[in-house]
A = this chain, B = another copy of it.
Amino acid sequence: MFIISLLSDFGHNDPYVAEMKAVILSINPQARIVDITHSIEKFSIRMGAYVLASVAPYFPPNTIHVAVVDPGVGTKRRPIIAETNRSLYVGPDNGLLMLAAHKEKIINVYQIDNPKYILSKVSKTFHGRDIFAPAAAHLSRGTSPSDFGLAIQDYVFPEFAKPHMERGELVGEVLHIDDFGNIISNISAEALELYGVHEGDSLLVTLGSKKLNMPFCSAYGEVPVGTILALIGSSNLLEVAVNQGIASKILEADVGDLFCVSAVDSS
């Protein structure tokens, strides 16, 4: 039994997500469908790529991930299947799938153009239902990725900002604000380790135009309620939080803001 995961920016008010599920179940009534989220910010390929790459490693091998954040639907952007050593990714060729696929080992990327595996009438506004959902359902029934079309080399790879050193600071940016208001950066635990700061240190964090001192903790509850802290979150990235508070509101932070770190000189 194969698992098919779904991620999109479709929201929950419309028939769109259910139409994808209905198409999948019409082709493979045994498919096991799991929603990742349908609340990706509209058209935010970056947020979609981040969430997909965060969650994919926890799924069992052979999971088929369908992701649809697709501002170019109906234009020349291609529908693709990315096959890795662990999973299959189905969606638009706009970089959405590749952050997750790249964390595994990419074997091949195929363009989907075999009409046999596409709904007979394809809307130019909803490839999620008419191309991606049927592709996932056929994959879950054992169709080989190479049956969908030719392998391509020139797929889009996302160019997301990477943290770097500048004047002794680790310079990154805000990658995601989670539902608790935690401000998640693109700076990994490994980067901090290399930079030489550790839990227990005091950090100087630049968030947009604000400079803030805060303790580098290991759990939210290590500081009093309402206090700012930094910690490594569950995706292994540095985040700024407020214990039981909404850090993004208190600090007026947004995705894309500058997020720099240096250790406070305690001398």
Task: Write the residues of chain A forming the contact surface with B, with a CB cutoff of 8 angstroms.
Answer: 1, 3, 5, 10-19, 21-23, 25-26, 29, 32-40, 42-43, 51, 54-55, 58-60, 63, 71-75, 123-126, 129-130, 176, 178-180, 218-222, 231-235, 243-244
Complex contact A13–B179 (CB within 8 A): yes
For A18, what are the chain B residues with a Cβ–Cβ distance below 8 Å?
Answer: 5, 34-37, 55, 58
Whole-angstrom CA separation of A39 from B10 in the bound complex: 13
- Count of this chain's copies in the oligomeric assembly: 3
Whole-angstrom CA separation of A219 from B43 in the bound complex: 15
Whole-angstrom CA separation of A219 from B33 in the bound complex: 28
Complex contact B12–A38 (CB within 8 A): yes
Known: A12-B179, A179-B13, A234-B16. A25 touches B220 (CB 8 A): no
For A130, what are the chain B residues with a Cβ–Cβ distance below 8 Å?
Answer: 234
Q: Name 24 A/B residue pairs within 8 A (Cβ), A-sorted.
A: A3-B29, A11-B180, A12-B39, A13-B37, A13-B39, A13-B179, A15-B235, A17-B37, A18-B34, A18-B58, A19-B58, A19-B234, A25-B32, A26-B58, A29-B32, A43-B244, A58-B129, A71-B243, A72-B221, A73-B219, A73-B220, A74-B221, A125-B219, A125-B231
Complex contact B25–A34 (CB within 8 A): yes
Whole-angstrom CA separation of A14 from B18 in the bound complex: 20
Nearest B residue (CB) for A26: B60
